[in-house]
Amino acid sequence: MRVLKRTLLPLLLLIFVLSSLSCVKRIPGESEPSFIEIAYKSLSISKETYDMALTAGNLLFSQGKITPEQVGETIRYASAYMELHNAAVSALLKLKNSGLDEDKNIYISIANDLAVSLLNLTKYLEPIGKGGI
Amino acid sequence: MPEPTTLSLAVAIAIAVLQHGPSAVIAIAELFKSGEPTVEDISKLFITKKPEEYFKNA
């Protein structure tokens, strides 16, 4: 579990940021990905990160390594994250249907907030994963 | 001999697969899949499981 906290969550965060910035290396000869494709991949990782973080949190709780108060705080951070993630998915759907720059900017704004929220969630969980209670 | 960063990535992916099984495989596959996603693909990205549902025994 400590390996998961130390290695996987920061790695997923890094992949999320890199794919958001379109820095994920492409296969030679392959066409450049569209904005929607990049956003889609970022949100796929975002959803998986949410699931992994909370699954890990529940495991720590069942092992007695975190308190009910810490569970409450984790739920608070995760709820904010879930709300932003779903808002980003809605914004991406709207952009997919409209193709308008205005909708693209709305998506970017929400995605930036989502990245900060992810950072908050992983920052909160990391010390818990290392030391428990 | 793989570079240390490549090795770390491989180990991290292996841990993800071991810990989370198919969902991790799907997430990694999505990352490397190319092509424009459909509306249906994007709709599947909504998170429907609330945080408190992960801690039913809390």
In a domain, A10, yes or no: yes
Q: Does B39 touch chain A (CB under 8 A)?
A: yes
Neighboring chain B residues of A15 at a CB cutoff of 8 Å:
31
Is 90 exceeded by the pLDDT of residue A129? no
Q: Grade residue A61 by pLDDT with cuts at 50, 70 and 90.
A: confident
For an interface test with B, give the residue of A44, A74, A77 to mutate (most B CBs within 10 A). Answer: A44
ipTM: 0.76
pTM exceeding 0.90: no
Given a contact cutoff of 8 angstroms between Cβ atoms, the answer to whether B37 and A37 are in contact is: yes
Residue A133 inside a domain? The answer is no
| A29: its two tokens | 């000869």
Least confident interval from A75-79, A113-117, B11-15? B11-15
On whether residue A122 sits in a domain, the answer given is yes
Top-confidence residue, B14 or A71: A71
* Cβ-based contacts of A32 with chain B (< 8 Å): none
Provide the domain count of chain A: 1
Cα A2 to Cα A12: distance, rounded to the nearest angstrom: 15
- Which of B26, B42, B52 to substitute to test the interface with A, most A CBs within 10 Å? B42
State the sign of the Cα–Cα–Cα–Cα dihedral A21, A91, A11, B12: negative
pLDDT of amino acid B48: 96
Domain, as residue range, for A62: 2-21+34-128
Confidence band of B41 (pLDDT split at 50, 70, 90) = very high
Q: Where do runs of H (alpha helix) occur along A1-133?
A: 2-3, 9-20, 35-62, 68-98, 101-131
- Higher pLDDT among residues A5 and A12, named by residue: A12
